Chain A
């Protein structure tokens, strides 16, 4: 168990809908990352927060947004969903923002858009 909690485990929704994925980092970790894993794109970095502030942004669509709250949990909001958004969404956390601080991943949320 990595200590990173993601809810829900599975989500099935229709095109055009909006969903919220939730992540609780490991105790003491200040940095939270969101990744999307799909068969054709592999693991793609979406966004990173450090202690409540956005630190880095990757290939995150404008329809997607995220935030990190004062208690350090994070939410990823996906709106106007399309079939192509179906993927496994991972949250990860790390103790610091330094290069040698490994990311610890949650079990992921599997999103299916029908």
Chain B
């Protein structure tokens, strides 16, 4: 069963606008971590933001924030004030505590920022 679902293969956003990238996950663990990574066309994977399952506040890192809704098992990434350099693939990932499971990735969303 797929643990991470990113339903938007591609998204477009106007420069300076905000955009939300969707991520839902599936786990029976109570303790887990959620991550977002950015992969530009150059290929590297860049860590953006982390949210722990017990964190009460939504995580924020600069222009990135994570809209965490535990009951709905969703962890959407919000990028505010989009820039042309934000054009990239974005991956949602989860790591469960039990069973020493690795970081599992979704299939990604390709974001294109338009001038």
B100 within 8 A of A: yes
Interface size grouping (class) on chain B: 20 to 34
Q: Is the interface of A mostly helix, strand, loop or mixed?
A: strand
Which residue from chain A places its CB closest to the CB of B96 in the assembled complex? A99
CA distance A56 to B96 in the complex (A): 13
A90-B45, A103-B35 given; name 8 further pairs at CB < 8 Å.
A2-B44, A2-B47, A42-B107, A97-B100, A99-B97, A100-B50, A102-B47, A105-B44
A45, B95: Cα distance in complex, Å:
12
B contacts, CB < 8 Å to A:
31-33, 35, 37, 42-47, 50, 52, 91, 95-97, 100-108
Interface residues of A (CB under 8 A from B): 2, 33, 42-43, 45, 48, 55-56, 58, 88, 90, 92, 97, 99-100, 102-108, 110
| A56 to B42 alpha-carbon distance, docked (Å) | 29
CB distance from A10 to the nearest CB of B (A): 11
With contact pairs A99-B32, A99-B33 given, residues A108 and B103 touching in the complex (Cβ less than 8 Å): no
Nearest-neighbor residue (CB-CB) of A94 within chain B: B103
